A = this chain, B = another copy of it.
């Protein structure tokens, strides 16, 4: 779920893609090294997408970028902080209802212009619109399935995506346990305590869950053998975890914990479209966004040997 991602100032803004004007958009399409004319020849009426998101950080925008990159659907991006802040104004011409926070997806189809916010809502929309993200296996089966069975199969992907994004939020809150509007430096003692809870309780709980899904679903987390927006999001979270908590991840790997999870991270990273994206230079590196590397929050030596919170009594 997309909480607002704070942004520390307006002095730097990068644009991976030009803002959404038809000329700039066409130019971007031509320039993209993986542009495949066949896709567009097939569907001249394909919607035009613009992602509005803060510059520099991968952030929650990255979950949406991955959907486009994986499915080879072109998109423009607006990272102009002044324009972004204006889009969150209730008087902005974004339609109704207006938007609480970024990321924001703009869809232009003919003379129609629609905007959607909230990361899970955007990914739900895209997974209904983009054939490669759509569950073709389920569709093939659905002729004989009931309406309920078909609907719940689609909902299940959303269910797992929401759980992946819950983990993403929990990792973010580890370095911001008191307030998203305060600097990390102003909440370090609280962050240290929360990070211990993340390492000892929450990461094991989440990764055990995903490990089991990957075991049951032939290497994917929502639908057997098929890459969905839930898989792409989990891959990004795992990349972020390895950036933010390298010692913790290393020790878990070496201890043989969550083996399916690490194998999943490796195999998704080697998929053609993901590999091309990583190698393109377009992918924004982790820095001070959702996933941050503060060595003092990473696993301490000797952890797991009885030094954790002793007052834990609540049963889930």
List residues of chain A with CB under 8 Å of any chain B CB: 1-4, 6-10, 47, 90, 96-101, 107, 109-110, 112, 114, 116-118, 120-121, 124-125, 128-129, 146, 148-149, 151-152, 155-156, 158-160, 162-163, 165-166, 169, 173, 177-183, 186-187, 190, 193-194, 197, 201-202, 206, 209, 212-213, 216-217, 221-222, 224, 309, 311-316
Contact = CB atoms under 8 A, between A and B. Distances in A.
B162 A121 contact: yes
Copies of this chain present in the complex amount to 2
Given A181-B314, A216-B90, A159 B117 contact: yes
**Nearest 5 A/B pairs, CB to CB:** A179-B197, A114-B152, A1-B1, A121-B159, A118-B162
Contact of A212 (B1, B10, B90, B216): B90
For A6, A99, A314, which residue has the most chain B Cβ atoms within 10 angstroms? A314
Contact of A194 (B10, B177, B311): B177
A148 B197 CA distance: 43
A193 B194 contact: no
A146 B309 contact: no
